[in-house]
Amino acid sequence: MDGIHSPDFWDFYKEKLIQDSVLTDFSRDKISLGGKWQYGIDQYDTCLRNRWWAEHEYDKDGRPLPLDYSFDTWETMHIPSCWNLENDRLFLYEGGMVFTRKFEYKKQNERVFVKFGGVNYQAAVFINKTCLGLHEGGSTPFYIEITDVLQEDNRIIVSVNNTRRRDYVPMDNTDWFNYGGIYRDVELIRVPQAFIRRFNVALMPGSDFGKIFARVETDGAGTGIATVKIAELGISEDITIRDGIGEAVIDFQSDKVTLWSPDTPKLYDVEVSFENDRLTDKVGFREITVSGRDIKLNGESIFLKGVSAHEESVKNGRAVTDDEIRENYTIAKEMGCNFMRLAHYPHTQQAARIADEMGIMLWEEVPVYWAIDFNNEMTYQNAQNQLTELITRDFNRASVILWSVGNENPDSDERLSFMSRLTDRAHALDSTRPVTAACLVDNEKLIINDRLADKIDIIGINEYYGWYDPDFSKLPKVLTNSNPTKPIIISEFGADCRAGHTKQGNRDDMFSEDFQLEVYEKQIEMLSSAEYVKGMSPWIFYDFRCPRRLHHMQNHYNIKGLLTADKKHRKKAFYIMKEFYNGQS
C-alpha cells in the first residue's frame, strides 16, 4: 500500500543514479539480451511506486497476495526498438513502460556487466529483485556490474520513461520526435576479476605526428603494468598503473604512420593488456587543430563539406541499423561531403565506428538544446554526465573531430556559465579535439558575437535567412559586420520543401523544390564570400518526424531535407550542394 501514499517514491531511485559508467568494450566477449521482452504500459509508474520489481507475491505466512502485474503473460516486443513503431497504439505514447525477460547464465569466475547502448529517456534497472540503479539521458550508454546478483535463472526488469520534462536534457520542447524505448543493444559483458575499464589512444596534436597519447584505467587491481601495442607502428609500451590509472606519451617514427583522413581512412590494430585482460580496438591516427581562422586536418587547412542529420529512419525510428548508417554516409559522399553533423544528441556508437571505416569526419553533440533549465544544478550535472559518457565512448574514434556542447541556446548569463562549464569539461576530458556549439546570430546588430565564442574553439552558426527571416539582405551584412578570430562553421541553414511540389502561384510555393533551391543558391553564393567560413552542414540531410510540424505540406514531418525521409528522392537543392562541394578543394 506504501506505493499509494508516497509521492516522493522517486527519491529512492534518484539516490542510485548511474553516471560515467562507460567501458571500452569493442573487443569484449558479449552475450546479447536482445530479442522478445514482455512489456507493460505503465502510465503511472506503478512498477516503481509499488516496487513490482521486488516480486513480493506472498505474505509472511505464504498466502498469495493480489498482484497488478503478470510479467510472463504480457505481450512481447522485440528489443532493441522504439516502441512508437512497434505497434500503432504506441506511436505517440509518452510515459512509463516496463520491460522484462528471463535469461539463464552459467557463471564461472569472471565478473559480469550489463550494458545498455541507449534507452530514451530514463531507465531504472532491476535483476532478481534487486534495484541496480537509474540512468537519465536518452542517447548515451551505461554499464552496471551484476556479478553478485546473477543466478543460474534470472529475471531482468527495466522501467523506461520517455516523458519530456523542463529540467531534463533535452528539455520538454524540441524539434524532433520523442521516441521511447530500449532502442540500442542490451548485452552482458564478461571481464576478468582485474580488467581494463577504459583505454584511450590518440595522436597528440602539435607533436609533428610523432607522439601518441595513451591512457589506461583498470578495475580490480589498482597497480601493475599495462602494455599498449600497435604492431604496425612498432610500438610496445609499458605503462605503470597507480590507483587504477596510467598514462604515457609514446614516441614513434612518424614517417611510419598513415594518417587517418576521409581520403585515407587507415585504422590500426591497437592492443592493450593488463594482468589476464587483453583488449583491442581499431584506431585511426590524425590531428585536428585550429590555427587562427583555419581548421587543419593533419596540418593541412580543410573546408568541412557537410550536412546535418538526425538519427532516424522511417522504418526504425531512432533504432537505426548499420546498413542505414552506411547508406547515409554513401549518399553523403555522393553529395561530395567529407563531414556530417550528428544532431542533436549522441548517435549510436556504430555511427562513429562506421565513419572511421568509410572516412567521414563527424560533429557529435549533447542535447543542450534551446532553452535548457540553465539555472538548475541537477540539469547541469545531467548535461555534464551525458557529455562525459559521449567523450568516454567515442574518444578513440578518429572520425569524431568536434564535440558540440549545445544548439541554439538563448544568450543569458546563466546560459553562458552553464555552457562555459560544459566546454571546460570537454577540454578537460579530451585535449585532442576542438569544442564547438551551434550559436545564433545577433539579429539586432546583424553580427556574430555570441559570448560563448570566447570559450569554444570553432564557432557554429545557425542562420535561416531566406526562410524564417525572409530578408536575405541581412546575411551579407552579418558576414561583413562580423570579424571572428576563430573558424566559423555554418551549422544550419535551409528551407522546408515538399518533395516534388512545384510552384502553383499560391501561399504553398514556399514549400516547393524551386523555392528551397533558390534559398540554397543564395546561401551558397553569400557564404562563399566570407573567407572565415570554413565549413557548413545545411539543415538537413533527410526529412524527419516532428510533432511540431502540422502544416498540410509537412504532415508531422520537418521537411527541410535534401532527401525525402525514405532517402529515395533527391530534391533539387541536393544537386546544388553536390555541385558546390565538388568545386571545393
Q: Which is nearer to ligand GCU, 272 or 438 (CB)?
A: 438
DSSP state of 148: T
For residue 165, the one-letter residue type is R
Minimum CB distance to ligand GCU, residue 485 (Å): 24
The C-alpha atoms of residue 423 and residue 71 are separated, in whole angstroms, by 44
Among 293, 560, 571, 572, binds ligand GCU (CB under 6 A): 560
Q: Which is nearer to ligand GCU, 39 or 177 (CB)?
A: 177
Minimum CB distance to ligand GCU, residue 122 (Å): 22
Pull the grid cell for residue 402. 568536434
Minimum CB distance to ligand GCU, residue 340 (Å): 15
Residue identified by cell 598503473 is 241
Rule CB under 6 A: which of 259-288 touch ligand GCU?
A: none
Q: Which is nearer to ligand GCU, 117 or 460 (CB)?
A: 460
Rule CB under 6 A: which of 368-407 touch ligand GCU?
A: 407
Rule CB under 6 A: which of 323-362 touch ligand GCU?
A: 344
Minimum CB distance to ligand GCU, residue 379 (Å): 19
Indicate whether 492 belongs to the interface with ligand GCU (CB under 6 A): yes
Q: Which is nearer to ligand GCU, 22 or 527 (CB)?
A: 527
Q: Which is nearer to ligand GCU, 205 or 538 (CB)?
A: 538
Q: Which is nearer to ligand GCU, 185 or 463 (CB)?
A: 463
Minimum CB distance to ligand GCU, residue 175 (Å): 4
Minimum CB distance to ligand GCU, residue 308 (Å): 8
Residues contacting 414, CB < 8 A, separation 6+: 374, 375
Minimum CB distance to ligand GCU, residue 465 (Å): 12
Rule CB under 6 A: which of 45-84 touch ligand GCU?
A: none
Minimum CB distance to ligand GCU, residue 469 (Å): 12
Q: Which is nearer to ligand GCU, 180 or 460 (CB)?
A: 460
User: At 192, is the secondary structure helix, strand, or coil?
Assistant: coil
Radius of gyration in angstroms for the set of CA atoms belonging to the chain, rounded to a whole number: 25
- E strands, 287-434, in order: 288-291, 294-297, 300-301, 304-309, 339-342, 361-365, 400-407
The C-alpha atoms of residue 68 and residue 385 are separated, in whole angstroms, by 35
Q: How many residues bind ligand GCU (CB under 6 A)?
A: 9
Residue identified by cell 590518440 is 202
Minimum CB distance to ligand GCU, residue 342 (Å): 13
Minimum CB distance to ligand GCU, residue 462 (Å): 4
Q: Which is nearer to ligand GCU, 287 or 513 (CB)?
A: 513
Q: Which is nearer to ligand GCU, 98 or 439 (CB)?
A: 439
DSSP state of 21: -
Residues contacting 31, CB < 8 A, separation 6+: 187, 188, 190
Indicate whether 516 belongs to the interface with ligand GCU (CB under 6 A): no
Among 175, 287, 356, 373, binds ligand GCU (CB under 6 A): 175
Q: Which is nearer to ligand GCU, 261 or 558 (CB)?
A: 558
Q: Which is nearer to ligand GCU, 389 or 492 (CB)?
A: 492
Q: Which is nearer to ligand GCU, 272 or 497 (CB)?
A: 497
- E strands, 9-127, in order: 29-32, 35-41, 76-79, 96-104, 111-116, 119-120, 122-127
Longest CA span, the chain: 82
481 HSE (CA, 13 A, CB side): 15
Minimum CB distance to ligand GCU, residue 463 (Å): 9
CA distances from 35 to 24, 80, 81, 140, 145 (A): 24, 7, 10, 21, 21
Q: How far apart are the first and last CA of the chain?
A: 69
Q: Which is nearer to ligand GCU, 560 or 570 (CB)?
A: 560
Rule CB under 6 A: which of 458-477 touch ligand GCU?
A: 462
Q: Which is nearer to ligand GCU, 430 or 543 (CB)?
A: 543
How many residues in the chain?
585
Please, is 323 exposed, middle or buried when counting C-beta atoms within 10 Å of its C-beta (0-12, 13-18, 19+)?
A: exposed
Indicate whether 537 belongs to the interface with ligand GCU (CB under 6 A): no
The C-alpha atoms of residue 37 and residue 99 are separated, in whole angstroms, by 6
The C-alpha atoms of residue 199 and residue 250 are separated, in whole angstroms, by 14
Indicate whether 408 belongs to the interface with ligand GCU (CB under 6 A): yes
Minimum CB distance to ligand GCU, residue 541 (Å): 12
Cis before 465 (ω within 30):
no
Minimum CB distance to ligand GCU, residue 181 (Å): 22
- Residue nearest to ligand GCU according to CB distances in the complex: 175
Does residue 162 contact residue 183 with C-beta atoms inside 8 Å? no
Residue of 486, 512, 483 lying closest to 423 (CA atoms): 486
Does residue 458 contact residue 292 with C-beta atoms inside 8 Å? no
User: At 226, is the secondary structure helix, strand, or coil?
Assistant: strand
Residue identified by cell 514531418 is 557
The C-alpha atoms of residue 2 and residue 140 are separated, in whole angstroms, by 33
The C-alpha atoms of residue 537 and residue 362 are separated, in whole angstroms, by 11
Residue of 171, 173, 119, 175 lying closest to 144 (CA atoms): 119
Indicate whether 558 belongs to the interface with ligand GCU (CB under 6 A): yes
Minimum CB distance to ligand GCU, residue 95 (Å): 24
What is the phi/psi pair of residue 438, to 5°? Answer: -90, 105
The C-alpha atoms of residue 356 and residue 511 are separated, in whole angstroms, by 36
Residue identified by cell 556574430 is 448
Minimum CB distance to ligand GCU, residue 408 (Å): 5
Does residue 415 contact residue 409 with C-beta atoms inside 8 Å? yes
Q: Which is nearer to ligand GCU, 175 or 356 (CB)?
A: 175
Q: Which residues bind ligand GCU (CB under 6 A)?
A: 175, 344, 407-408, 462, 492, 539, 558, 560
